[in-house]
Structure 1
């Protein structure tokens, strides 16, 4: 992945059907130092522009409701295309219903920026995208390469996004499980240094998996990082009591995941 060092290096594709809203966001981007901004008004035009020009530092900022498809369908199409799947995606929307936003959270989106928003909120989303595009340089390469990670998530898109981040860190020894039950079977025969798991999964969820690891697994001291879109504080508190090492929200900032993984190496 090519390096991008500042917001000025970003090439933003803004997908916004409202001319007024597009101008507003474009001005905000320019105030943040973004030089290259291309505006399109529908998903088809966005996919065509992305296919035609694989610009360094490309980032997509999209509205949720587009004339030809939803922003959730746009990010799904990007994640299903090997040439576009690594491009950071930022959703801008006034939508708050979890069932509508969940596909975006699971897709590996960098950020969801709620309307109305200010430049500071947009800036944070942009820096999260820039951080995703920048491989870290401060981790011990030999130590990272030896790290064995078990990745547990029922969402293929989410697993792929996390796998890309791990591989950018230099981690190659990654085992995947589609739910807690499969993870339990793998843990019985495979030694790991870190478990990264979702919360809401069929068969056995993240809390049940954490409880199993802490009370029944021979690897009961392994660090467990939960990456989840769960918003229920009672459920998250139950996960913490079960013994999870850290919780990170979806969508998450790449830097947060890298920091938590780095901390797990020093324990």
Structure 2
């Protein structure tokens, strides 16, 4: 028998919850070395990172966070999520390779995450539309670019025009990013900027915020959406387990 691990909680552990994890297995809690480990019994030797499995993993974490105890109107469930796919063969392995060697770090991370949630903002643009906007704002650059059509240019001239357009696009992109950073970063406790996942994505950031700050954060995102109107597409995820802020190197599954 092996166990699939979802995450780690501080004590006291939640009680009387009913959740299904991977393969429809009931989610359980194991008290280990002063922490509560969220797990279910594994039905496979290895879990593929399919969309279905990933969503099941994340759903367990999110539902436990949302079901957290509430004090003074604030959710206090501080959960340390584990990356997808961690299987262990025994609780001794968890204790010896995870809990005991990292006990202080686990405690600090869980304290940092207490009463907080992760939200994310992804910003997309249309490169073709932005190039047209750039050329409209810089007529001289447009004139030079138009010379590329049907007229012989030296390699040096072509490179110069290409570099000028590339620099203009980079400046345009950075200007947008500066606005988002200036508007949102001050609300967050911590920010992680991730690499954009595709050519049309120009900004990809995760924010650690307090539970009660989400409505304010959401209002600022909506204001940014209105500010840039149809120029940008903003994808806002207002709640997820704090994967970007749980930086703990775990042992290999076995």
Q: TM-score, normalised by structure 2?
A: 0.29
Which has more radius of gyration? 2
Query: Relative contact order: is structure 1 or structure 2 higher (C-alpha 8 Å, sep ≥ 6)?
Result: 2
